[in-house]
A and B are shown apart, each in its own frame.
Chain A
Amino acid sequence: LQRSKARADAFVELLQPLQRPLEVYCRRMLHNRSQVEDVLQTAVARAFANFDRYVEGTNFKAWIFRLVTLEIFNRNRQHEPLSLAEAAADLPAEESWELVVQENTFAAMLEDPDVVLEHFDDLVVEALERLAPAERAVLLLRAVGEFSYKEIHELLSIPLGSVMGYLSRARHRLRIALADYAAERGLVRRNLQPEGPEA
Chain B
Amino acid sequence: MNCQDVRHHWMLYLDSEGDAELHLRINEHLGMCPTCAEWMARQQRFEQALADRLAAGAATPELWHRILSRACIRAPVTRWRPRFALVAALAAAILLAIGIGLRIAGPARSSDLDDVAADWHQQLLQGSVQPDLLSTSDQEVDHYLKKRVPFRVHCPPRTDVRFAVQGAGVCTIKDRQQAAYIVGRVEEAPVTILVLDRASLDAFPHARAYLQGGQHHRCHEGDYQTVSGIIADNVVVVIGTAPPESLEKLLNAYGSYPEDEV
Contact = CB atoms under 8 A, between A and B. Distances in A.
Interface string A158-180: 00000010011001001100000
Interface in A111-151: 111, 113-114, 117-118, 120-121, 124, 139-140, 142-144, 146, 148-149
A98 B55 contact: no
Contacts of A27: 57
B53 A120 contact: yes
A11 B71 CA distance: 12
B9 A117 contact: no
A111 B11 contact: no
B204 to A, nearest CB: 13
A120 to B, nearest CB: 5
A117 B50 contact: yes
A89 interface: no
Contacts of A142: 15, 51
Interface residues of A, number: 49
Interface of A: 8, 11-12, 19-21, 23-24, 27-28, 36-37, 40-41, 44-45, 48, 97-98, 100-101, 106, 109-111, 113-114, 117-118, 120-121, 124, 139-140, 142-144, 146, 148-149, 164, 167-168, 171, 174-175, 197-199
25 contacts: A8-B74, A12-B73, A23-B57, A37-B63, A37-B66, A40-B63, A41-B67, A41-B70, A44-B68, A48-B71, A100-B7, A100-B8, A101-B7, A101-B10, A106-B46, A110-B45, A114-B49, A117-B150, A124-B54, A142-B51, A143-B51, A143-B54, A148-B17, A197-B7, A199-B4
